Structure 1
Amino acid sequence: MSFRPRKALALALIACGPVGVLANDLTTTVTNNYGMPGSLVDMPTAEMAPDGQISTTASHFDGNTKTMLSFQILPWISGSFRYSATDNLTPQFSTFYDRSFDLRFRLWKEGTYRPAVALGFQDFIGTGILGAEYIVASKSIGDRVAVTGGLGWGRLGSFNSFGSTGNRKMFQPGDTGGDFRTGSWFRGDVAAFAGLSFDLTERLTFAAEYSSDGYDEEVAVGIFEHKSPLNFGLNYQINPNISLGAFALHGSEVGAKLTLTLNPKNAPAPGGLEEAPLPVSARTRGTTADLNWLMEPETRAAVNRSVTKTLGSSDLVVEGLSLDGRTAHVRLRNDRYDARAQALGRSLRGLSRTLPTSVETLHVTLVAAGMPSSTLSFSRSDLERLENEPAEKALAVAQFSDPLSFANLPTPTADAYPQFSWGIGPYLRTSFFDPDNPVRADVGIKFSGDYHVMPGLIASGEVSVKAFGNLDKINRTSNSTIPHVRSDVASYLATEEPTINRLTLAKYSRLGHNLYGRATAGYLEQMYAGISGEVLWKPVNSSFALGAEANYVRPRDFDVLFGLRSRTTAGGVIPEFNGHVSAYYDVGYGFHTQLDAGRYLAGDWGATLSVDREFANGWKVGAFVTRTDVSSEDFGEGSFDKGLRLSIPLSWMLGRPAQKTLDTTIRPLTRDGGQRLDVDGRLYETIRDTHRPDVAKSWGKFWR
């Protein structure tokens, strides 16, 4: 095969050549009509968003609407999820809804004379209707101009192609979609595209491009005419987080787009709004040898009261204290600080102000679900010496260990248990991607409570009542050919009466060094009741953990109250037993991985791989994919389970410490294959925040 690049590409590549300007990062907060970072209209560039940026883009022109969620996974990797609606694209639907994913990899950054180059995959998991692959080069010229040129396959090779790299398998009616189409990557016709963007002002950008997308599917059914390969656009940056764009496409259409951005690294209140901590109280020289207080029982009692009161002023609960002449060991419950390093720092400051001067070694054991989960050991002299030094110096001398290694581990005091906590507030329950109505939602009030009967024994529940919404209007009968373990979810959302979302009794235990156990019984989640048991091996200083879980469950009645229903469904009988073995690994660089393998709710066997980008302030953005022995045909539309998930710490929004998070999962489809029980309080997430790898991430707040 021989390539003969067209004039447009040649001009762009010449422009990308040696120019006597300083290179910049080619970083932009603007997105194109496909939701990916880029200052052009439809065509890709080699630009990237600021690391960690999350963007939501909505674009529309006559007959076509796209809604996109994008994330800058790493400085050189961008990803996007897209939900598009096209009118009259197929005879089966008046509006064809399609879900797709994109990835772009920057191969190298631009230099003084070298353009940035990126490799991209568009709609690489989906129907492939928007599918394309490309290699693209972009170069900045001065502070205002950037030029781009590239080669595209798939949709981006459909206009004025100049060669072919083999046959490309296209999506056909009846295909389940949602699978990797690796056999089609960089196959088929190849064409050139090019573009230029120019910053007219600090806020207004103009873009012009030569498009290699022939819009073959849309033109074939008469949605619009493709009169020209030239597209033009204007983008106005209203503020750092909102931009508005207008564009003209293929000589026959005009449209608009709106982009909202935020970056987890940039908190609304960057400095935090919590009250300042107590200062460290330094001992005077010559007082550290005074042990006379040991002979005075009333002094020891006064110390206990002082420690409890002082740490309580920082919303830290002292469950127990053991004390001798040189060592103090505090058993601590932290229900406030999501940054455990901040809780530890404040507890040590409080101890420095309340303990006798002879006490040199400080141990603080954090409790999670009533279990002693990790112990920080710190020299009081180091605390006094390092108070005004960078936090990393304190981390270097801090020691973490398993609490079970201490013979003098404090036992809970008589008044530490029982304890009760509760909360009440609004809830938002959503459903996406229903062809009859792509976005549905219920809003209501939720009440939750936890009663800690004794250390590790917790009775908990959650009740909600709907105020208004339209989830009950979902009117889709599942056509699943395997047991209906999730696809009948609409029946659980139809009730207008109060529902018992969860009502359980859980026992958490330390089974030995590095070993944890959990047993939970009751109404485990909205759709299932039963018994769940789990064990976890997790060393305090390790980034690696192993766990195993076994469950015996029955499906709940659709009214989500106390009744159970038959395990027999239209797709088969729901098995009673399921479970998994799990491996967890904190890779570093902000990434965490989890692999679960075992039997899922429908009786299928397989594995789930999850990868999350975790920020020091508690934000988590991740993706998961599940493959089981259910075939693509039996699974149905989508081929296999996959999705995105997002966790936003309440503390990030409020600027004050809080342990609550707002969590959401975006699944392109809710099917029955690869579905796992949603039991609350799994061990790894319960204890990991108290172990050194996670505490170290938030260590910047140790002195806060």
Structure 2
Amino acid sequence: MREIRGGQIYRTPLLFAVGLGLGLTPAQSQTPAGYSYSTYGTPGLIDMPTAQSAEDAELSATVSHFAGTTRTTLSFQFTPRLSGSFRYSKIENFTRAGALFDRSFDLRYRFLDETRYRPAVAVGLQDFIGTGIYSGEYIVATKTLTPRLTVTGGLGWGRLGSYNGFTNPLGVLDDRFETRPGGFTGTGGQIESAKWFRGDAALFGGVAWQATDKLTLKAEYSSDAYDIETSRGLFERESALNFGLDYKLREGLHMQAYYLYGSELGVAFNLITNPRKPAINGGSGAAPLPVKRRAPGSARDLGWTEETRRSGNLRGQVGDLLAADGMALEAMNLSARSVTIHIRNDRYLARPEAIGRTARILTRTLPASVETFVIVPVENGIPLSATTLKRRDMEDLEFAPDGPWLSYARAGITDAADSLDGSTYSSGLYPDFTWSVGPYVSTSYFDPDEPVRVDAGLQLKARYDIAPGWIVSGTLQQRLAGNKGDATRESDSVLPRVRSEGFIYDREGETALKDLTIAHYFRPGEDLYGRVTAGYLESMFGGVSAELLWKPVGSRLALGGELNYVKQRDFDQAFGFRDYSLATGHLSAYYDMGNGYYGQIDAGRYLAGDWGATLTLDRTFANGWRIGAYATFTDVSFDDFGEGSFDKGLRFTVPLNHLLGRPSGQTYKTVIQPLSRDGGARLNVEGRLYDIVRSYHDPELKDSWGRFWR
């Protein structure tokens, strides 16, 4: 027995807890001079927005408080021009029953860049999905007057047009722009486009002065009347002027203090990181072995091929060096002029780094006559692609200024479906038992009675590789402390309760078998990948899941299909089942749009029996970070779905090496949903094929090939 290899930890949603505490405090500056964050957690002055954008790919978490209102905002600069924000707010004493908890989404697009004579100009939608408490739209311009002084002016609608408003200038286009509909539609959570840029408009503006490298002073004129809050006596709005300061406590951590509306003091904290940059400067990973150059004429010597034990000895040497570098030799087929080697890579998320290090090892171990290296990464027993390299290129390009690009241009990357033919597996590789024991933390968010709930305990994970492509695995958790199961709000769903009773699973599953499966991975043909998984697939469902993926090595497009027959598990998450069962499945299309952007469409039948589709957009980085959003629309009406109207959320993958500064194949995955309802709920089965396959295919290999020589 040995400790479990690197992998993905799916049920440890620590982005808010550990990620925002450690990963969001990078060693490099993330906030260049010229912008800071507002109380809404977006680039702005104090309560008003600016036209400035955060640095591309910047991820920020802001917590602000004033006048009994606390806003917690997560913002991401999805492209250099487009940013999105998710906000969770608490307004104390909002109703007779107590506080109001509100979820909202923002979008902002900078459509004009600043030039010498022209300001930057942006358009924004605030709280465009939700109940509309903070709903507003704006067009704003920001100009840099000196390197330390910026001025901003804008025009707002909705909440941002509620103080000293005037007739909407867009009324010249259509009289309907002069009236803004009130309230919100149905159960909330819908896109209220009928309100956008309608009703009275108002002006806002302000100035920001960077007094020192750490201190920025700000003042603004606010166009938000805070009608709802003042009418409920939450605070007195005595002035439209706000004043504040932003102080950088350390790189990636800012504190802000405010004097707002002539009556209130406020404070905010910003945690900032950028997935494109390491949280720790440098790294502690071992340097790769240098390429060993052959002596002139040595490639003609084939005498080694007559030695009967030579191939076995060479296989052992290669395996030992791969193991020392955090990889494993799966199989090898050696001839006088070429070698095909299958490797497991559990350490390097930048896949070309594993390929490059393997090629270096081969130059140091194989006879000089072996000119062609075919390196085939294997995961879950299936070969994913074949990278063909020439040994002379390794020798010529190791120190070349353009070595990374030339080595990629000269490499051949092809399908590897039949690459195991004639290969000899390493002895002792199968069967293989791995395990780990450690703490776990599981969280849930947005319960109005307790916005953050946490369980903690011990987790046992085990995996048994029976033979290539055959895997038995399971996870057992013992809760030691927590309050996730203390929720008391009963589900009001009119659909089969496939997710909305999750709190009962948390309550009853003190000792929980989270999953126990047998899975078979296989290659049915060229460009095809298959998976069949059976058992207790996740905490709420067990059954059988089958998947087929078509993904050519050099294609941006992949197509897949998944079919499942599942039965709902007992609340205690032991071995029993409830009465509910159904067949569910999806057809999927995946597309790599370039520059790290991925789109995905999954259409089919969901766990509650509803039919529809899920749209997903992700941004992925070469170091393993991934940030994305999804939305699901099915034939369940918004009213039947309940609060929120449709399923939507954010998803994050955080590589451990970003935090540690050394190579690691582990990643933390979490999904943040404003609400967990029954409509649009999909089976959570581990080992889906696309994420396994695509990292060893083009164009993703090309995008991270710069690490080939690392």
Aligned to 2:68: 63
Instruction: Name which of 276, 289, 292 aligns with 2:300.
Output: 289
8 Å CA contact retained: 1:26, 1:47: no
TM-superposed CA distance for 1:271, in Å, is 3.1
TM-superposed CA distance for 1:411, in Å, is 4.4
Matched, 1:644 2:650: yes
1:403-552 matched pairs, under 5 angstroms: 403-404=416-417, 406=419, 408=421, 410-495=423-508, 497-552=510-565
Instruction: Name which of 555, 579, 592 aligns with 2:568.
Output: 555
Matched, 1:272 2:283: yes
SS in 1 for 2:563: strand
- Partners of 1:663 and 1:607 lie apart in 2 by 22
1:293-308 matched pairs, under 5 angstroms: 293-308=304-319
SS in 1 for 2:316: helix
Deviations 1:184-210 (A, max 9, x none): 111111111111111222211111111
Deviations 1:607-629 (A, max 9, x none): 00111111111101110000001
8 Å CA contact retained: 1:29, 1:50: no
Deviations 1:645-690 (A, max 9, x none): 1110011111222111111111111111000000011111222222
RMSD, aligned CA: 1.6
- Partners of 1:405 and 1:565 lie apart in 2 by 43
8 Å CA contact retained: 2:186, 2:638: no
Q: Residue 562 and residue 405 in structure 1: after superposition, are their counterparts in 2 closer, same or farther (change >3 A)? A: closer
SS in 2 for 1:696: helix
TM-superposed CA distance for 1:424, in Å, is 2.2
Deviations 1:552-593 (A, max 9, x none): 1111111111111122xxxxxxx5111000011111111111
Q: Which amino acid aligns with 1:161?
A: G
8 Å CA contact retained: 1:316, 1:332: yes
Q: Which amino acid aligns with 2:406?
A: K
- Partners of 1:535 and 1:30 lie apart in 2 by 47
Deviations 1:447-484 (A, max 9, x none): 11111100100000001111211112111100011110
- Partners of 1:496 and 1:553 lie apart in 2 by 20
Instruction: Name which of 85, 104, 112 aligns with 2:90.
Output: 85
1:186-335 matched pairs, under 5 angstroms: 186-335=197-346
SS in 2 for 1:603: coil
**Which stretch of the first structure deviates more once superposed, 689-698 or 329-338?**
689-698
Q: Which amino acid aligns with 1:352?
A: T
Instruction: Name which of 107, 117, 135 aligns with 1:113.
Output: 117
Aligned to 1:181: 192
SS in 1 for 2:313: helix
Aligned to 2:151: 147
8 Å CA contact retained: 2:34, 2:150: no
Matched, 1:617 2:623: yes
TM-score by length of 1: 0.93
8 Å CA contact retained: 1:57, 1:257: yes
Matched, 1:168 2:199: no
Structure 1 residues without counterparts, runs of 5 or longer: 1-24, 568-574
8 Å CA contact retained: 1:417, 1:453: yes
Q: Residue 342 and residue 685 in structure 1: after superposition, are their counterparts in 2 closer, same or farther (change >3 A)? A: same
SS in 1 for 2:406: helix
Deviations 1:173-232 (A, max 9, x none): x84111101111111111111111112222111111111111111122221222111111
8 Å CA contact retained: 1:51, 1:74: yes
- Partners of 1:210 and 1:150 lie apart in 2 by 10
- Partners of 1:104 and 1:70 lie apart in 2 by 11
**Which stretch of the first structure deviates more once superposed, 310-319 or 664-673?**
310-319
Aligned to 2:6: none
TM-superposed CA distance for 1:540, in Å, is 1.4
TM-superposed CA distance for 1:302, in Å, is 2.4
8 Å CA contact retained: 1:28, 1:49: no
TM-superposed CA distance for 1:408, in Å, is 5.0
**Which stretch of the first structure deviates more once superposed, 580-589 or 694-703?**
694-703
Aligned to 2:14: none
**Which stretch of the first structure deviates more once superposed, 341-350 or 249-258?**
249-258
- Partners of 2:93 and 2:573 lie apart in 1 by 40
Q: Which amino acid aligns with 2:77?
A: Q
Aligned to 1:7: none
Higher RCO by CA contacts (8 Å cutoff, separation 6 or greater): 2
Matched, 1:399 2:406: no
Instruction: Name which of 130, 133, 136 aligns with 2:137.
Output: 133
- Partners of 1:277 and 1:406 lie apart in 2 by 26
Aligned to 1:589: 595
8 Å CA contact retained: 2:586, 2:603: yes
8 Å CA contact retained: 2:639, 2:645: yes
Instruction: Name which of 351, 355, 359 aligns with 1:340.
Output: 351
**Which stretch of the first structure deviates more once superposed, 691-700 or 505-514?**
691-700
Q: Residue 197 and residue 312 in structure 1: after superposition, are their counterparts in 2 closer, same or farther (change >3 A)? A: same
Aligned to 1:16: none
- Partners of 2:368 and 2:302 lie apart in 1 by 9
What is the aligned length? 670
**Which stretch of the first structure deviates more once superposed, 75-84 or 162-171?**
162-171
SS in 2 for 1:68: strand
TM-superposed CA distance for 1:156, in Å, is 0.6
TM-superposed CA distance for 1:303, in Å, is 2.0
- Partners of 2:510 and 2:164 lie apart in 1 by 60
SS in 2 for 1:213: coil
TM-superposed CA distance for 1:102, in Å, is 0.7
Q: Which amino acid aligns with 1:117?
A: V
Q: Which amino acid aligns with 2:39?
A: N
Aligned to 2:3: none
Matched, 1:608 2:614: yes
TM-superposed CA distance for 1:520, in Å, is 0.5
Aligned to 2:81: 76
Structure 2 residues without counterparts, runs of 5 or longer: 1-30, 169-176
Matched, 1:99 2:110: no
SS in 2 for 1:598: strand
**Which stretch of the first structure deviates more once superposed, 331-340 or 473-482?**
331-340
Q: Which amino acid aligns with 2:531?
A: R
Q: Which amino acid aligns with 1:214?
A: A
- Partners of 1:240 and 1:98 lie apart in 2 by 31
